[in-house]
Amino acid sequence: MTKADARLAPAIAGNPASPAGRARFFRPTWAEISLTAFQDNLRETARVLGPSVRMIVVLKANGYGHGALALAKSAADLRGVPLWGFGLSSVEEGLALREAGIRQPLLILGSLYPFDSFEAALQSDLTPTVASRRAALALGRIAAALKRRVRVHLKVDTGMGRIGISPEAAGETLQAIEEGGLQLEGVYTHLARADSRAKTRTQMKEFDRVAALVRRRGLSPMMHAANSAAVFLYPEWHHQAVRPGLALYGVRPAGVRPSRVALRPVLTWKTRIVFLKKARPGIAVSYGSTFRTKRTSWLATLPVGYADGYRRSFSNRGQVLVKGRRCPVVGRVTMDQTVVDVTDVPHVEVGEEVVLLGEQAGNRVLAEDMARWADTIPYEILCGISGRVPRVTL
C-alpha cells in the first residue's frame, strides 16, 4: 500500500467514520496533491531568479484547481524561496485565505468592480489592483473613510488588451493614487504571448515607459510582469518580482525546452474500476453507440465523467493508465461514468486503481496530453477538475 492508499483506505472501504481531517468519500475518484512536488517546483523556479527578485505565487482559481490553502501554507513554510505573497483573482479568494490564517500579502489580480468590494478587501488587508483612474479615486475615498494606509498595485495594459490603464493614462492615474493617499507598492502588466520574445519586447518597452514615469515622480514600487514562461525564458524581464502560476503546478510552459527546467506534476487524478465485463465483438458502448468492440474485450467502467471535469471531448480519444499501461477511453464520456478498454492488461479486477492524470508505474498522462485531446490548454484541464472530486493532500 502506498502512503496515499493507506490514507484513503477507510473511505474506499465505505467506512463513514474515516478519521477527521481526511477527505471523506466513498466514490473512488479523487485527486492527490503532492506538496513535495509543489515545493520542488517552487525551488526549481526560484533557482533561475536573481538575488533580489521576489516571487508572487499565483494561487488564483483555488490554486489552479489544486486547493489554494494547502499550497499557500506549504509555500509559506518553505525556506530558500523568496516569497513575496500570493496572487489571487478575487476578493472572495483573498478572504478565504485570510480567514484560514494566511498572513502573507495577498494581491487581488481581478475584482476591479464594484468599487465597494475594495472596502472588504481593505478590511482584511488584501492588496487591491488599481486599473483605472476612477478606481484609484474610489479606493482613496474608502481608504480615507476607513482611516487606513493602503498599499495598491497599478495594472498597466501594455498589449494584453484585457484590463489596465494605458501607458498614456499612467500620469493621471498616478496622480489620483497620490492624491488619494494610497501607497503605490507595485506596478505590473501581463504578457499576451510570453512564448514570443518579439511580442514580449514590445510590451516591455511600453512597461519601461511607465517605469520611467513612475521614477520621475520619485516613486520606486516593485515592478512585475513575468509569468511562468517569462520566468524561464527572459531573465532580463524579471524586474523586482515574478508571478509564476502554471510552472509551480508542474506544467512546463509553452516555449520552454525540457532541458531548461525540471518540473513535477503536483496533481494526480485517480479512480478505480467499479464494474468490469467481458464483451463479445460488436457490442456498442455508451450514448450514441459511437464505439463497437472489434474483438472479445474486457471493458472497465470508471466512476468519473464530465461532471468531474473529465471532458466529453475525451470520448474515443483519451487514455488512462491501468497497471502502468495506457488504455483507451471507448465510447462517449458521460456525466458520471466512462468506459475504458483493458483487454491488453492482464489480471485486472474491480477495485483496480486507474490513473486519469499523472504517473503510474513509469508511464504518464500529462495535463498537456489531456489538453491536446480536448483542443484546449493545460490550465483549463487543471481548473476544470470540478469540486466534486475530493482533493487529498499528501
Beta strand 338-341 pairing with 325-330: antiparallel
Q: Which is nearer to ligand PLP, 171 or 255 (CB)?
A: 255
Residue in the shown chain whose Cβ atom is closest to ligand PLP: 245
Q: Quote helix, strand, coil % in the chain, to nearest 5.
A: 35, 25, 40
Distance CA 284, CA 94 (A): 49
Question: Smallest distance, Å, CB 194 to ligand PLP?
Answer: 7
Q: Which is nearer to ligand PLP, 87 or 94 (CB)?
A: 87
Which of 109, 112, 304, 345 touches ligand PLP (CB under 6 A)? Answer: 109
Q: Is 270 noted as a catalytic residue in this protein?
A: no
Question: Smallest distance, Å, CB 87 to ligand PLP?
Answer: 6
Question: Smallest distance, Å, CB 252 to ligand PLP?
Answer: 11
Q: Which is nearer to ligand PLP, 61 or 299 (CB)?
A: 61
| Active-site residue, selected from the candidate residues 60, 64, 234, 306 | 60
Distance CA 32, CA 128 (A): 32
Residues constituting the chain: 394
| Active-site residue, selected from the candidate residues 73, 287, 306, 310 | 287
Question: Smallest distance, Å, CB 110 to ligand PLP?
Answer: 8
**Residue 246 touches ligand PLP, criterion: CB under 6 A:** yes
Find out whether 199 and 224 touch, Cβ atoms under 8 Å: no
Which of 67, 85, 186, 244 touches ligand PLP (CB under 6 A)? Answer: 244
**Residue 245 touches ligand PLP, criterion: CB under 6 A:** yes
CB atoms within 10 A of CB 170: 23
68-97 footprint of ligand PLP as x/- string (CB under 6 A): -------------------x----------
Which of 58, 330, 340, 355 touches ligand PLP (CB under 6 A)? Answer: 58
Q: Which is nearer to ligand PLP, 226 or 322 (CB)?
A: 226
Three state DSSP letters for 5-68 = HHHHHHHHCCCCCCCCCCCCCCCCEEEEECHHHHHHHHHHHHCCCCCCCEEEEECHHHHHCCCH
Q: Which long-range contacts (CB under 8 A, 24 or more apart) does 112-117 make?
A: 112/163, 115/139, 115/142, 116/142, 117/91
Residue 49: φ, ψ to 5°: -90, 145
Q: Could you say which residues in the range 174-193 bind ligand PLP, by CB under 6 A?
A: 190
Q: For ligand PLP, how many residues bind (rule: CB under 6 A)?
A: 10
Give the binding range for ligand PLP (CB under 6 A) out of 137-145, 240-248, 317-325, 383-391. Answer: 240-248
Which of 66, 243, 272, 311 touches ligand PLP (CB under 6 A)? Answer: 243
Residue 290: φ, ψ to 5°: -80, -10
Beta bridge partners, 224, equal 188, 241
Angstrom CA distances, 50 to 47, 125, 235, 236, stand at: 8, 29, 8, 10
Task: For residue 85, give the C-alpha cell.
Answer: 505573497
Q: Is 287 noted as a catalytic residue in this protein?
A: yes
**Residue 151 touches ligand PLP, criterion: CB under 6 A:** no
Residue with cell 478587501: 121
Give the binding range for ligand PLP (CB under 6 A) out of 41-49, 99-107, 197-205, 241-249. Answer: 241-249
Task: For residue 74, give the C-alpha cell.
Answer: 506549504
Q: Which is nearer to ligand PLP, 245 or 265 (CB)?
A: 245
Task: For residue 123, give the C-alpha cell.
Answer: 478590511
Q: Could you say which residues in the range 217-236 bind ligand PLP, by CB under 6 A?
A: 227-228
**Catalytic positions, please?**
60, 287
Q: For binding to ligand PLP (CB under 6 A), which residues are involved?
A: 58, 87, 109, 190, 227-228, 243-246
